[in-house]
Amino acid sequence: MKARLSASRERIIAAALGIMAEHGYAGCSVAAVAERAGVATGSVYRHFPTKADLFAEVFRTASQREVDAVARAAALEASAAEQMAAVVETFSGRALQSPRLAYALLAEPVDPAVDAERLVFRRAYAELIAGHVAAGVASGELPPQDPELTATALVGALAEAMVGPLAAGVAGPETIPALIAFIHRALGVSP
């Protein structure tokens, strides 16, 4: 019974994520999510007090997955320069794999309450990057700089540079190397 309950909850989250990946946040009415999850509309409210709460959790889950993947890829590298290249490649690669979902997570208009979760998402990336930047500065690989500011600006740069390709559906093959070159310059990686 407990199992059935939490299974429903999981199905609802999975359904919401699935609809976001196919039709974006705009396609995510509570009725549509419920139908896909195989429950009645009202049952959604046994698990989440409001729609915004449901989607806050959906965003949190999806974002965590993304941040984890990027963190894992970066952790395999030794230098700050290679770590950041891995960040860009993983982030962009995954975004281009699921462009609709990436757009929803990054930029699609959403409820203010859900938008707040997006800030958390971006902040998580920024903190991940700030850690690598700080290490690079400490080791002397990178010139002195405010790692927080650098990281925040890089997150913005990365997101903005991806929005065009995400809207178009594809990125030119030269986009990602060019973005890595930009980011290496911005970090002050010596050539």
Partner DNA sequence: GCAAGGATTGAATGATGGTTCAATCCTTGC
Partner DNA sequence: GCAAGGATTGAACCATCATTCAATCCTTGC
| Chain positions contacting a copy of itself, by CB under 8 A | 26, 109-112, 115, 119, 122, 143, 145-146, 149-150, 152-161, 163-164, 174-175, 178-179, 181-182, 185-188
The answer to whether 169 touches 99, Cβ cutoff 8 Å, is yes
* Nearest distance, CB of residue 76 and DNA, angstroms: 41
| Residue 119 and residue 106 in contact, taking contact as beta carbons nearer than 8 Å | no
If one asks whether residue 45 binds DNA (CB under 7 A), the answer comes out as yes
Binding site partner of 41, from DNA, a copy of itself, none, Cβ cut-off 5-8 A by kind: DNA
Task: Report helix, strand or coil for 188.
Answer: coil
Which position among 18, 21, 43, 98 is part of the footprint of DNA (CB under 7 A)?
43
Residue 69 binds DNA, judged by CB under 7 A: no
Name the token pair of 53.
């709460």
DSSP sequence for 35-71: HHHTS-GGGHHHH-SSHHHHHHHHHHHHHHHHHHHHH
Q: Which stretch binds DNA (CB under 7 A): 24-32, 72-80, 136-144, 149-157?
A: 24-32
115 contact, one of DNA, a copy of itself, none, CB 5-8 Å limit per kind: a copy of itself
Q: In this complex, which beta carbon is closest to DNA, that of residue 29 or of residue 64?
A: 29
Does residue 5 interact with DNA by CB under 7 A? yes
Residue number with CB closer to a copy of itself (63 or 152):
152
Tokens standing for residue 15 = 């359904």
Decide: is 112 part of the binding site for DNA (CB under 7 A). no
- Closest C-alpha to 96, from 186, 26, 189, 179: 179
* CB-nearer residue toward a copy of itself: 12 or 84: 84
Closest CA to 81 of 157, 183, 158: 183
The answer to whether 136 and 187 are in contact (CB under 8 A) is yes
Binds DNA (CB under 7 A): choice among 51, 122, 132, 184: 51
Q: How far apart are CA 126 and CA 118, in angstroms?
A: 12
- Quote the CA–CA distance of 48 and 16 in Å, as a whole number: 13
Which residues contact DNA by CB under 7 A?
Answer: 1, 4-5, 8, 28-31, 38-43, 45-46, 50-52
